[in-house]
Chain A
Amino acid sequence: MSARTRCDTIATKMNTVQVNNWSELRSWLTRSTDDRVFTGVAGGIGARLGVGSGYARAGFFGLGLTGFGLVIYPLLFALSGGTAPSTDLVGDEIDRRQRLGLTFMFVGAMVAFASGGTWLDGPTIGALTLIAFGIAAVWDRGIGVATDQSRIRIIIGAVVIVAGMAVLLGSTDRLTGLGPVVLAVGITMAGLILVFGPWALRLAGDLGEERRDRIRSEERAEMAAHLHDSVLQTFAMIQRTDDPKKMTTLARSQERELRSWLYGARGGDQGQMLSDALEDMADRVEQAHDVPVDVVVVNDLPMSPRIEAVVAAGGEAATNAARHSGSAKVSVYAEVHDGVLEVFVSDQGTGFNPAALPPDRHGLRQSVFGRMHRHGGTAEILSEPGEGTEIHLTMPLEPS
């Protein structure tokens, strides 16, 4: 780009600054959303002018000391039209000359106001402003990237800060009253913080990000491990099976496991719940007999020995249904209401006459009826030939 075109570009920018129209000004002057200390006015101006927001902030600081900035900042805030992120406004074509121009602009303004007689004397304003610009130079974006340019900038910034402090010391009587050693140490500390602060902050931020990345990748690894152990293994097993019934069972048990893994952990760490125990039971019956077992639970509750007994009895009932009824599926429904746990195990199979229950059906007699009675509950069979079977288990939650 030739010098001529560059001048034109800058001129165009400056023209844009001299807006007569309010709405134009408002749309030009935005507050920065991602680069702000108070309201983002300085960030917005810095981005618009193509200089680091730190310089704009330093300018405001200097103007603020003279009193004028305290007026102009709220004014600019009021005039600004909305907010915008400043990152995409920063142009790379802005050169050093323009920054220098801006610096002179602020210095000129400061001198003008200082000579106009304000509440701080001239040298103090000059020193503080010098320090502010030093800070801006050090804290400018690009710090942390160890380029020669950034190093030079840090050195220049440090020199400017030290110079500013020296001027400040020389001009203020109050500070000279302190012990010179304390003073020297204090100033050195302040200088060190100012110069290396941004670098330390950046380092801390990087560490945090690294930690987040590590947590993320650990989670990914855990998920991969789980999927490998469960889903991929099941797929491998399904590929090696010819029996469609076996395939269905494998797929269903995998579905159940994946679902409990995805949605199951929601209850927190309250130990095993009735619904978990019933799902496990259904899974076992399904695996053993190749018949789907659907579980519906209303009002879950934590396990206890009495509840264990009901789950075991229900498991036996479901096994019976899967083995003898010929039904395509078994339904398990559990509901807790009015201090009673009720479990229904139903099938749509052949059914039978409960009064004519063969004496060799130990499972039903011992494992279902016997178990329920021992724990203070009851069991009944609702069945008719051709109408399916339903085993109804009732268990009070408290011993009566």
Chain B
Amino acid sequence: MTVRVFLVDDHELFLSGVRGELADRDRFDVAGWATDVDDAVAAIRRLVPDIVLVDVHMPGGGGLSVIRNVTETHPDIRFLALSVSDAPEDVIAMIRAGARGYVTKTIAGDELADALARTADGDAVFSPRLAGFVLDAFAGTLPQPDDPELDQLTPREREVLRQIARGHTYKQVARRLSISVKTVETHVSAVLRKLQLSSRHELARWATDRRIV
């Protein structure tokens, strides 16, 4: 089954690069692309792709407003955020808005294809740096008596994130921890969900400490 991809980026050159990269792969079908927020939202609602690869910094509100607008009407469409910036404020904001993963533009073609495929399958994509941010955000926190279920990372999740932050692939993480790749993916998805849903004050404080909000 092919994955229908929609691309949003205000740099034409980058768009055509990604299109060329994906054209060689049978798995992907580029359904369309847009260079600004309004066009993107309209076209995505019309075409209903499986996954949207969206740039973070764009005129007119950026990737954040694309995600927010589309998920209002189409909550099933998945987003993979792509940016030159890996500043924590950008990464965390996109993830909290509902992006299933965050990759930087220095990513290699194979890795991008892999990330898109994985996001389309419903998994979360954690780069080492994103894993580092999440660990940092959840680090050194005491158990939360009021909402422990939602907010705390389990020791296993923490271990999986640390492995990813060390630069290992999901496959390597699975072998090192003697679990299946599917289990790694489950852990990572759970962490992403916690990050998206979490309203805990530790995360807020972490963001404030780093002047993110």
Contacts and interface: CB of A to CB of B under 8 A. Distances in A.
Given A294-B129, A346-B168, A348-B167, 9 more contacts: A255-B84, A266-B210, A292-B106, A296-B131, A296-B165, A297-B132, A299-B139, A344-B166, A390-B166
A263 interface: yes
Interface in B165-213: 165-169, 172, 210-211
Q: Which of B128, B132, B167, B210 has the most CB of A within 10 A?
A: B167
A333 B166 contact: yes
Interface in A56-93: none
A348 B108 CA distance: 15
B87 interface: yes
A335 interface: yes
Interface residues of B, number: 20
A310 to B, nearest CB: 16
Nearest to A251: B106
Interface string B118-147: 000000000011011001100110000000
B132 A263 contact: no
B129 A296 contact: yes
Interface in B148-174: 162, 165-169, 172
A294 B167 contact: yes
B140 A337 contact: yes
Contact of A346 (B167, B210, B211): B167
Contacts of B139: 298-299, 337
A103 interface: no
Interface residues on A, range: 20 to 34
B166 A331 contact: yes
A298 B166 contact: no
Given A335-B162, A337-B139, A298 B87 contact: no
A333 B167 contact: yes
B211 A298 contact: no
B211 A266 contact: yes
B38 to A, nearest CB: 28
Contacts of B106: 252, 292
A295 to B, nearest CB: 9
A348 B140 CA distance: 30
Interface string A248-274: 000010010001001100100000000
